Amino acid sequence: MIRSSLWSRAFDGVNVALLLMFSLGTVLPFIHVIASSFASERLVAETDFLLFPTEFSLKAYQYIFSSDALPRSMGVSVFVTVAGTALNLFMTSLMAYSLSRRTIRFRAPIMFLVVFTMIFQGGLIPDYLVVKELGLLDSYWALMLPRAILPFYLIILINFFKQLPDGLEESARIDGCGDLRLLFRIVLPLSLPALATLTLFYAVMHWNTYMHAILYINDMDKWPIQVLLRQIVLISQAGFVEQGSVEGEASIPPDTVRMAVITVATFPILLVYPFLQKYFASGILLGSVKG
Amino acid sequence: MSHSTISTRHERPVRKRRSALWRDLSRDRWIYILLLPGIAYFILFKYIPMGGVLIAFQDYNAFSGFGGSEWVGFKHFERLFAEPSFYRLLRNTLMLSLYNLVLGFPAPIILALMLNELRMKWLKRSIQTMIYVPHFMSWVVVVTMFFVLFESYDGLFQSWIASLGLDKFTIMMNADWFRPMYILQVLWRDSGWGTVIYLAALAGISPELYEASRMDGASRLRQIWHITLPGIRSTIVILFILKLSDVLDLSFEHIFLLLNAVNRDVADVFDTYVYRVGLLQGQMSYSTAVGLFKGLVGLVLVSFANWFSKKFGEEGIF
């Protein structure tokens, strides 16, 4: 008995140690990047892994905000995130409501066609041609419309609507409530946890959008933040390959500038993260797998 | 003769059935009206591109359009299989997919099992809070962070190998290190988040099973093997099929960001090739054929896994 409990305690100890190592490994790099972005260049060069800026400096931020490229692309990203997420919620909830009704015909074939798009797509070039034929190239619509409904999130919402109590619908029907009223007055207000989850996931998707902007947006003035960040990084990377020969040249953004841009690009996500966190454990995501 | 008698005999019921359908449709008209935007979306942005793969059998050019371009049969596929780069693309795609399946898929399961063994709820929750963070960062940010940590001349990794007495060497811009660094980034970003669904499934296992096995003197490892793992088996199977469905996609964005002149030999996969040949060089039909080949291989993989799973009494995804 004692032996087994000793063994069990050792098991716990190793388990906790490994998990702590992994979690520190995921979080410390962020702290390092944020701390470095606020530190002086000298301190960053001297310290291998900086966790607190003992020599405080805002030079990196002054540099990246000195041109209007960064504020502009942040504006683009904020707009696409807000408008795109609104479109996502509108489209996803309408379709999810219809497909959650028991009386709807052709439900099974429609669901099959939705799921099928998760395992087979036309591919990059046909997607591009459709966006081009619709005249959406270089338009913010190109960042929003092609991803108006994500099948995975649609299924989550359908399953959430389905598990709302049937009695609600019946009594609303008896009171003469039509589908529109039922959706907007009863189903949606009761689905706030699921809608909040979807809002946050869709918003993160839009804020992080990169590939679609590379494909569909050529106009530099319409670049979202991730594309600009990548551009700044590429310039500084070119500097590293030739380390030494071009060291100290003013045109190359130093490390602190890269760190500052990462911080700016991740800040909104870290801001909403505590709210995201609230919904992780709620089991809404599992519903999608079971359904 | 007999044909016509059958049709007259069935005329009435057919009309009746049709009118029942019509009654249903008109009663629920708002349900169908609300469905329309979604249907329009799936047709426009999913099924039209799916039909668009037909340009793989054409010599498509933008001036003649889809209707006016010449049909050429399997010409582009023949070219693809004859291309020396085909085997390189196939090898790279399969190798990275294999890394993803062998390391990327089990990692969240193992992490979830470890988290499930934690007894202190606050510790479990704090660890969850930390390991989910990277998933919400864009690949641009993740790749940049890896450059900062591993490649910066004065950064963590370079200083560390220097302190070991080794020469500093470039690791992110290094073909030999491409695959390990690729999968390290995948694991770092997504294995924590991957635990979410497994933890929800684990929460559904009845505590009585654990109590009963403890009475019987089962050790912790035996409990994991005989109770916990069977309890989440169907979740594992479903997620494995879903994983197969995008395993060949390899998160295109990630590889696109890592790809450079130095590591092209190991990092070039079907998707990056399609982008380069199709959009940058304008060979629309050929690159669509490449994309279609990849898509069909993926579809076959998933269908097979789905069939296999159903045959062995598990649920499939369709």
Closest residue, chain B, to A15 (C-alpha): B114
Coil/strand/helix, residue B58: strand
User: CA A272, CA A206: separation in Å to the nearest integer?
Assistant: 14
* Residue B4: per-residue pLDDT: 43
Is the model's pLDDT at A291 over the cut of 60? no
Please give chain B's pLDDT, 318 residues, in tens.
Answer: 344 444 444 455 556 667 887 887 787 888 899 999 999 999 999 999 999 899 899 888 877 777 778 888 888 999 999 988 899 999 999 999 999 999 999 999 999 999 998 888 899 989 988 998 899 899 999 998 888 888 777 778 888 888 888 887 778 878 888 999 999 999 999 999 889 889 888 888 888 888 888 888 888 888 888 888 988 888 898 888 888 877 777 688 999 999 988 888 898 999 999 999 998 998 989 999 999 999 998 899 888 888 888 887 777 777
pLDDT in tens, A231-246: 887 776 655 444 443 3
Q: Where are the domains of chain A?
A: 1-57, 62-291
What are the backbone angles phi and psi of residue A39, rounded to the nearest 5°? -100, 165
B106: which residues sit within 8 A by CB, 6+ positions away?
none
User: CA B276, CA B89: separation in Å to the nearest integer?
Assistant: 13
pLDDT in tens, A206-230: 999 999 999 999 998 999 999 998 8
- Joined tokens for residue B197: 């669904």
- Give residue A26's pLDDT band: very low, low, confident or very high (50, 70, 90): very high
DSSP A200-269: HHHHHHHHT--HHHHHH---GGG--HHHHHHHHHHHHHHHHHTTTTTTT-TTSPPHHHHHHHHHHHHHHH
A interface test, pick of B47, B114, B133, B187 with most A CB neighbours within 10 Å: B133
Instruction: Give me the mean pLDDT over the A129-148 stretch.
Output: 94
Give the residue with greater pLDDT, A278 vs A179. A179
Instruction: Give me the mean pLDDT over the A71-82 stretch.
Output: 94
- Give residue A290's pLDDT band: very low, low, confident or very high (50, 70, 90): low
To which residue do tokens 């390290």 refer? Answer: B184
B interface test, pick of A117, A119, A223 with most B CB neighbours within 10 Å: A119
Among positive and negative, which fits the CA dihedral B288, B289, B292, B294?
A: negative
Cβ neighbours of B184 (radius 10 Å): 15
CA A66 centroid distance within chain: 27
Is the model's pLDDT at A279 over the cut of 80? no
State whether B295 and A121 contact (CB < 8 Å).
yes
* Residue B58: per-residue pLDDT: 87
> Looking at the complex, does the CB of residue B64 fall below 8 Å from at least one CB of chain A?
no
Mean predicted lDDT score pLDDT of chain A: 84
pLDDT in tens, B212-268: 888 888 888 888 888 889 888 888 988 888 888 777 776 889 999 999 888 888 989
User: CA A107, CA B190: separation in Å to the nearest integer?
Assistant: 33
- Joined tokens for residue A211: 């590939």
Which residues of chain B does A155 touch, with a Cβ-Cβ cutoff of 8 Å?
Answer: none
Q: Buried b / exposed e across B230-253, counting CB within 10 Å, b at 16+?
A: eebebbbbbbbbbbbbbbbbbbbb
Which residues of chain B does A45 touch, with a Cβ-Cβ cutoff of 8 Å?
Answer: 154
Instruction: Give me the mean pLDDT over the A163-176 stretch.
Output: 82
Which residues of chain A does B126 touch, with a Cβ-Cβ cutoff of 8 Å?
Answer: 23
Q: Which domains are seen in chain B, by residue range?
A: 1-54 (no CATH), 74-311 (1.10.3720.10)
Distance (Å) from the alpha carbon of A56 to chain B's nearest alpha carbon: 19
* Residue A39: per-residue pLDDT: 82
Coil/strand/helix, residue A98: helix
User: CA B297, CA B305: separation in Å to the nearest integer?
Assistant: 12
What percent of chain A is predicted at pLDDT more than 70? 87
Write out residues 250-309 of B within 8 Å (CB-CB) of A: 252-253, 256-257, 271, 274-275, 278-279, 284, 287-288, 291-292, 294-295, 298-299, 302
Q: Buried b / exposed e across A262-291, counting CB within 10 Å, b at 16+?
A: bbbbbebbeeebeebeebbeebbbbbbbee
Q: Which CATH architecture has domain A62-291?
A: Orthogonal Bundle (1.10)
* Residue A237: per-residue pLDDT: 61
* Residue A249: per-residue pLDDT: 42
Task: Report ipTM (2 d.p.).
Answer: 0.87
Task: Please measure the distance between the N-terminal and C-terminal CA atoms of chain A and give it in whole angstroms.
Answer: 44
Instruction: Give me the mean pLDDT over the A19-34 stretch.
Output: 92
The minimal CB distance from B28 to the residues A99, A103, A208 is found for: A103
Which residues of chain B does A204 touch, with a Cβ-Cβ cutoff of 8 Å?
Answer: 136
CB A238 within 8 A of CB A39: no
A interface test, pick of B21, B28, B34 with most A CB neighbours within 10 Å: B34
Instruction: Give me the mean pLDDT over the A101-125 stretch.
Output: 89
* Residue A22: per-residue pLDDT: 94
Which residues of chain A does B203 touch, with a Cβ-Cβ cutoff of 8 Å?
Answer: 283
Cα atoms found within 13 Å of the Cα of residue B24, Cβ hemisphere only: 12
Segment (H or E) for A42: helix A41-46
Is the model's pLDDT at A101 over the cut of 70? yes
State whether A122 and B238 contact (CB < 8 Å).
no
Nearest to B132, CA basis, from B179, B201, B199: B199
User: CA B131, CA B113: separation in Å to the nearest integer?
Assistant: 14
